[in-house]
Structure 1
């Protein structure tokens, strides 16, 4: 079996653009991966197109060797764009191999540690701006079947927060906790927007609301700063979505900067690389909750990885997305009692509908973190991706 072509497909979903890659072989078996890199769509497409000349004519079963060769020969070797391209290629190769061997991709990662994963909802809060609106949206998310919710209540925070801004964030968290009760896990995402003293102050102020974690409280490039926050925080600290190479994860573990590690299966270089990162964390008894807030192929990539690692904690899902998300792929997902069951189809178990992507062409989007639109710049209208939609 030899690789004959590599193609990319882009589909706009209002908040960002999904980027898919498909690898074709002379045996008629193809594989799909996802390389969505928010706000860097055209850049990641170019990176994937450059890799086609390396892959055509090669054996798709030589997954690790091909990934290592591309990593070595890139010269620069790292960064979000290149590592995301590698992650998508790795996924597509494993998809081909799983289909050829008639086994799910997680079997190629050493087999399954579990037959289901506990999910938490993201994006359930889009459109909410007041504590009451957040509370209503949280109740709807729980009614969809979720037992854990994550969101960003920090609005336009940029390193520091005024007393009024701090007060509003605390009021939002208090309203959600009161709305869902004590048995629902709640997690906050800061998107790396606070300095050290502000992050510590907010972690302490939010302690009464029994949070499962506060995510990426400080910018990702300074692991020492994150370690400072973790040492002072009464709330567990999670991070990792914006680290790309294994050495950064190892540094975070050695410096005791996190309670929960969050590698992104695509951005960290693929399923196999993420499994290796998870095992590093496991040696330190640190759980892994992979970053997974984008498209349906990435969802499959993350699900297979979560099934195959020993220290998995929680599975991130996009609970509400554009209505045409499901038109882009054929997938079989079983969601029950707040959990996704392990897939049984060969490979990743998701097939890209190529023609559908062309119906939603690329459109540029801006980063909504610092203009106060983080919770309103998502989707104009949406539908549930897993649970039952609630009106």
Structure 2
């Protein structure tokens, strides 16, 4: 069996555009991956196609050799474009191997250590603005089964935050906490927006709410500042979604930058690289909580890693998605009591419906974080994409 082609498919998904990758083989066994790179989808799709020069004609089972050669021969190593393209193609190779051998990818990675993984919800708040609106949305998300809620309450703030805006943000955290009670995890997102003194001030203010973590309080290109902040606040810190390889993570881990690490399977070079990063973190006794806000193929790949990674702790999960998500792939996700279950089908466990994608063509999107549209992350007709347990009526 030899690789014959790499194809890409871009599908509009409201807040972004999903970038799917298909690797075709001479035996007719195709694999799929996801290289979604928000706001740079056309760029990463071209980067995926350029990897044909490295991959076509090779045995798709030789995943490590392909990855090494593609990374080595890029010369300009690392960064979001190359590593996202590598991720999409590498996922597809694992998918091919699993399908050819008739086993899920997690079986190829050593077998599973769990049947399901705890999730927290993102996107549950759309389009809330006031604390009361957030509280109402929070109650609905908990009723849906989620036991952890993440959101960014900081409006348009950048670098510093004005006192009224901070008071509004803290009122929002207080309202959500009161609405859902002490058993639900509260995770506060910073989107890498603050300078050190502002992040420290916010971190101190968040101490009274017993939050699970304060995520990306500083821009991602200042690991030394993040390590200093972590030493000076008492709330746990989560970070790492905007690092792209084990080489980036080496310094991050040595500096003790965070309490939780958040690599993204679509941006760190794929399944194998995330597994290596997780093993590095395990040596520091740090839990892995992957960044996972993208599409169905990235979610499927992350679940494969969750299955076989001992220090995997929490999975980010979008609480709803565009109503046509179920048309784009054959995704079947089981969600019960705050847990997402590990798939058991061969490969990644889903197929791409190529014919459905042209109905949702590429539509460029820009970053919302500093425009006042932060909570406009889901369309009005968004719906659940997973199968949840029916409520017990007894």
TM superposition score normalised by structure 2? 0.97
* Aligned position for 1:69: 69
Partner SS for 1:220: coil
Tell me the distance in 1 between the aligned counterparts of 2:59 and 2:143. Answer: 47
Partner SS for 1:320: coil
Tell me the distance in 2 between the aligned counterparts of 1:331 and 1:369. Answer: 30
Question: Can you list the C-alpha shifts for 1:333-387, whole angstroms capped at 9, x where unaligned?
Answer: 2211111111110000011100111110001101001112111254243001226
Tell me the distance in 1 between the aligned counterparts of 2:317 and 2:361. Answer: 24
TM superposition score normalised by structure 1? 0.98
* Aligned position for 2:267: 267
Tell me the distance in 2 between the aligned counterparts of 1:126 and 1:31. Answer: 34
The worse-fitting range, judged by mean Cα deviation, of 115-124 and 331-340 is 331-340
* Aligned position for 1:217: 217
**Where in structure 2 are the equivalents of 1:365-380 lying within 5 Å?**
365-380=365-380
Task: List 4+ stretches of structure 1 deviating above 6 A.
Answer: none
Aligned: 1:309 with 2:322? no
Matched residue count: 390
Preserved CA contact (<8 Å) 1:307 1:342:
yes
* Aligned position for 2:7: 7
Give the drift of 1:137.
Answer: 0.4
* Aligned position for 1:337: 337
Tell me the distance in 2 between the aligned counterparts of 1:34 and 1:20. Answer: 4
The worse-fitting range, judged by mean Cα deviation, of 66-75 and 105-114 is 105-114
Tell me the distance in 2 between the aligned counterparts of 1:314 and 1:57. Answer: 39
* Aligned position for 2:60: 60
Preserved CA contact (<8 Å) 1:11 1:361:
yes
Preserved CA contact (<8 Å) 1:23 1:32:
yes
Preserved CA contact (<8 Å) 2:54 2:69:
no
Preserved CA contact (<8 Å) 2:336 2:389:
no
**Where in structure 2 are the equivalents of 1:31-180 lying within 5 Å?**
31-180=31-180
Structure 1 gap ranges (5+): none
Preserved CA contact (<8 Å) 2:335 2:388:
no
Question: Can you list the C-alpha shifts for 1:83-123, whole angstroms capped at 9, x where unaligned?
Answer: 00111111000000000111100111121111110011110
Preserved CA contact (<8 Å) 1:319 1:386:
no
Partner SS for 2:330: strand
Preserved CA contact (<8 Å) 1:29 1:99:
yes
Give the drift of 1:312.
Answer: 0.7
Give the drift of 1:388.
Answer: 5.6
Preserved CA contact (<8 Å) 2:118 2:340:
yes
Give the drift of 1:190.
Answer: 0.6
Tell me the distance in 2 between the aligned counterparts of 1:338 and 1:264. Answer: 21
Tell me the distance in 1 between the aligned counterparts of 2:128 and 2:225. Answer: 31
Aligned: 1:22 with 2:22? yes
Tell me the distance in 2 between the aligned counterparts of 1:365 and 1:381. Answer: 19
Partner SS for 2:324: helix
Preserved CA contact (<8 Å) 1:131 1:175:
yes
Tell me the distance in 1 between the aligned counterparts of 2:41 and 2:266. Answer: 14
Tell me the distance in 2 between the aligned counterparts of 1:261 and 1:65. Answer: 27
* Aligned position for 1:355: 355
Tell me the distance in 2 between the aligned counterparts of 1:11 and 1:256. Answer: 38
* Aligned position for 1:238: 238
Question: Can you list the C-alpha shifts for 1:106-159, whole angstroms capped at 9, x where unaligned?
Answer: 111121111110011110011000000000000110011111111111111100
* Aligned position for 1:203: 203
Tell me the distance in 2 between the aligned counterparts of 1:206 and 1:275. Answer: 32
Tell me the distance in 1 between the aligned counterparts of 2:182 and 2:334. Answer: 27
Give the drift of 1:246.
Answer: 1.0
Preserved CA contact (<8 Å) 2:333 2:385:
no
RMSD between superposed Cα atoms in Å:
1.3
* Aligned position for 1:186: 186
